[in-house]
Structure formats: structure tokens, C-alpha cells
Chain A
Amino acid sequence: MNKNRAKRRFKKGLQYFVAALLAVITFFPLVITLLNSLKSNDEILLGMFNLPKVWQFSNYPSAIATANAVGSITRSLLVAIATLVLVIVVALPGAYAIARKSFKYLKGTYILFMAGVMVPVHCTLVSINRMANVVSGKNNYIFLVLVYAAFNLSQAIFLFTSYIRGIDRGLDEAAKIDGCGDTQILVHILLPLCAPIIATEAILVFIYGYSELIFSLILINKDSLYTVSRAMLNFTSNYTTSYGPEFAFIILSMIPMLIIYLILHEKVAEGMMAGAIKG
């Protein structure tokens, strides 16, 4: 009996130890990067492990001035918001039609959207680059947002369609009898009911849009227009003489997402789950 209890206690201790160890491994790079963003170059070169002797807060203004950190972060935030608005505005009516109407062509439409899931983004790079050259889509945020939205549509249509199918049709029917058209049903009845899934999808698109890399690599080549990923890569490869501001930029770039995560972490987990099951 005593042996059993000791065994159980050992097991429990081990469980806590592993859990804590994993959490430490998760946070460790963040802490190290944060510490090094506050050190002078000489101190960094002595080793990243050491604590800062002189706290070099000027790394942050320097990252903002030389790499335009705040500018690129703002641009990425705006691109992400524009993308998520476009995705929702386009996907919601589409999903409503697919979920509620029984016209035959809609089945084909749904299959078209779902086929989008199967296409890896990078299989379209060469052609999208070509297209951008023709329609002056290079260094053009409208073009960039359209591309981002197109690649997020399948997921949005999938999530919205299955969500709307789960909502009782009786509500629509009642509204129809009262003389509501499709647009009114969608805006006044389904939109409020769909708020949870819209929030879920919005978060997923936002995360995608903020940190997207590959399209911003081929479509944006003016450094005054760089998105945050692009600006960060450019800064870390060009200014290799001073590491402090580079660390500062990395920390700055993560702040918006960390704030959102702090507030919405449960919603984020829910959204990621919804997105994962689709695959």
C-alpha cells in the first residue's frame, strides 16, 4: 500500500516536471531574445546567455529608425485586417447560398472551393508573379490582399457552410414569409448567429495575413512597402554589424500577436482546431 502511494506520488511529480520542462523550452527562446534585445553589440558577442550588464534600451528606437520596424508592423496589421474583412465579406454570402439553396450548380461551386484546399500556395508563384507584372500588381497592396484572400477562401467557405447548415432553417422560412429577401435574411438573421464562427475565421486569417512570407517576397520589392516578415529578414541580413536592434525588431514584431493571444487564447485554440480538422 505504502509502495503504491510512493509510486503514485513519483508519477505525479514526474508529470509536473515534464509539464514544466516543456513550458520552459517553449518560453526560453523568447526570454533569450528579449534579454539580448537589451544588450550592446559587444555584450551579445560575448554570448547570448549572459544577462545584460548595461541595459541598452536604445536598441528599440534604433530598430524603429533604421529598419522602420513600426512602419512595417503597421502595414502588416493593415494588410491582415483588409484580408480578413474581404474573406468574410466574400465567403459569407457564398456559404449562405451553398448551404441554403438547392440549385444544382452550387454543388459544383462548392467542389471548386474545396479543390482550392488541395492547391499548395507555391505551385502558383510563377503564374501569379507573371500576372502581377501584367496588371501592375507588383508593390500593390490591393493585389496582395486579393491573393491572400483567395487562398483563405476555401477554409472560410468550408467553416461557414457547415456552420450555417447547423442553424435551424425555420428562422429563414419565417423571415421569408414576413417578406425578407435573401440579403435581409443573411444580414439580419444569419450574420448575428454566425458571429462565433466569423470570429474564429477572422483570427485564422489575421494570423496568416500578419506573418505571410512567400507572396510578399515575390510581390513586394520596394523596401518602403515591406511587410513585417520581409522587413525583418532584410534587416537581419543587411545590418549584420549590430545585433541588438535586430533582436529588438524580432520582439517588436511579436508584440501585436502576443497581445491578441493574451486576450483571445481560447478563441485562437478553438479556431486552430476548426482549421485543423478540415484537412
Chain B
Amino acid sequence: MRIKSRRTRKELLTSLLFVLPGVLLTIIFVIYPVINTFWLSFNKWNGVGGSAVTWVGLENYTKVLTSEKFWNSMLNALYFMIGGFVVLMPIAFGMALLVTSKMKGTKFLKASYLMPVMLGTTAVGLMWKFMLNADFGVLAQALRGLGLGDWVINWLATPTVNIWCVVLVNEWMYAGYNMLIFAAGLVAIPQDIHDAALMDGCLGLKKLFYVTVPMCKNMFMVFSVTCITGCLKAFDIVYAMTGGGPVETSATPAILLYSQGFQYKLMGRSSAISIFLLVLGLILSLFLNNVVFKQEKN
């Protein structure tokens, strides 16, 4: 008995040592910063070490929630989400259908479609920024060549157009990644169901919409959750392509909190945006996972 308890005590100690480094890293760099940001969101601070941190109560939140810039950034996040459902989802699903079909070269296609994710967001953003240049870019040159020179505008400097350019580049980059999710769903459909559909004479588009898509419901759910919660987080691609400009017309909430904090030195304002995003993200993901998703399961 005594030996056993000594052994469990030793085991307890080892297990503590095993999890400790991870727990410390998470508390120091993830949990504590969130708590600190929460506290800062009620204060005014210019980010300089020695300068005063003054309590202002809810002022940061009221300022943020009444600012046009903030709601414009939320609208841009919404464009990211719309783009995700209208452009990214059909393309990714189409790619998944192709790479799981019986055609030749599916391995090559799969590897090609996935490739853009590897390139790094900054490199992708810069590549497209040049391609969309109004003076010498590919699109401008192509339009001029077709005699549509009037259509050439400075896309990345035109409000609303610029954010949609970024959204489309984002879809270019992540189509292959989302293809993987759908392909996993397609592969998991049992052969019996294909056979049954064939027996019933259910083919082509009819089969696609009445058999294949419903059978991949879970994958559409996974996609929806990542798309809806992910649209609030878009940063890198926007930063590389437009920097959120001009005058923050293409800023997403993440870009806005960066510029408020690190360009305008409004740390409190930036923290308020952070906390708002964190809470909104939590609510959305809890809602999607427990309300929408649960109904699907029943």
C-alpha cells in the first residue's frame, strides 16, 4: 500500500513536470495577455513604457462602437465571409469533386491546387499587388489589349473594390486548403450510396444536389465555422496588399486594431477592439457549434 502511494506520488510529480512548460507558455503568452488586454481596454495609454495608464471606464468601447471606421472594418469582414460562401466554397467543392473523380492526374491536380497555401501570405499578397497594378499590372495590360482601357482603375486604391480584390486573392490562396476538407468528406461517402443512386437513376446534377452535397453536410459545417470565425481574423493578406488603406477603407477589424495601437498609439482603443472581437468570435463559434450544428446532428 505504501509503496503504491509513493509510486503514485512520483507519477503525480512526473506528470506535473511534463505539463508544466506548456502550461507556463500558455498562461504567460496567451491567457495573461488576454486578461491584460481586457484591463487595458478600460484605460488610456500611449504604449510608451513609463507613461501613465489612466482609467477611462467604457470610453474606449463607446468610441469604437460609434466610429465609422470600425463599422467599415466590420463590413469588410462581412465581405470576407460573403466571399467565402459565394466564391471560395463552390470553387473548393468543385476542386474536391475533381480530385476525387476517376479522371487522370488527380494526384497532380490535388498537389497543384494546394500549393498556394505554402507560399506564405506576404509573398502571395505582394505578387497579386503587382499583378493588380494599374500602370503595368497583368490585369490592366490585358484589359488595354482588349480595348477596354476605360475599365482600368487603381483597383487597390478604390474603396470597396480594394477589399474585394483582397478577398478574391484570399480565395485564390485558400481554395486548395478547403478542397482538402471537402475531399475528405467525398471520399468518406460509402460506395453503397453511389450504387443506390445509380440504381434509382439518380445521376449528374440531380445526384450532386440530392446525394453528394447532403452526404458532405459535416464538411460544409466545418467550412462554415472556419469561414465565419476566420473572417474576423483576416490580417496578413490585407496588410501585404493594401496595408488597410487608403485611409483604412480596406481595413479589417484586425488591421484596425493594429493601426490604432501601433500607428496612432491608442492602446486602449486597440484593446477594446480586441476584446470585442474575442467575445464576438466566442459567441459565434459557441452559437454555430451548439445551436446550428446540434440541430444538424439530431
Contact = CB atoms under 8 A, between A and B. Distances in A.
Contact of B25 (A90, A228, A253): A90
Contacts of A182: 11, 14-15, 18
Contacts of B254: 120, 122
B274 A126 contact: yes
A118 B18 contact: no
Interface string B14-40: 110111011101111111111011001
Nearest to B236: A213
Interface string A98-122: 1001010010010011011011111
Contacts of A32: 127, 131, 138
A12 B103 contact: yes
B19 A153 contact: no
Q: Which of B19, B26, B47 has the most CB of A within 10 A?
A: B19
B47 A112 contact: no
Contacts of A194: none
Given A90-B25, A125-B270, A228-B122, 4 more contacts: A97-B19, A120-B278, A124-B30, A217-B258
Q: Is chain B's binding surface mostly helix, strand, loop or mixed?
A: helix
Contacts, number: 278
Interface residues of B, number: 93
A242 B105 CA distance: 40
B109 A23 contact: yes
B82 interface: no
B35 to A, nearest CB: 8
B190 interface: no
B222 A277 contact: yes
A123 B19 CA distance: 25
Given A15-B98, A25-B172, A133-B49, A153 B22 contact: yes
Contacts of A16: 103
Contact of A272 (B103, B114, B128, B225): B114
A240 to B, nearest CB: 11
A193 interface: no
Contacts of A166: none
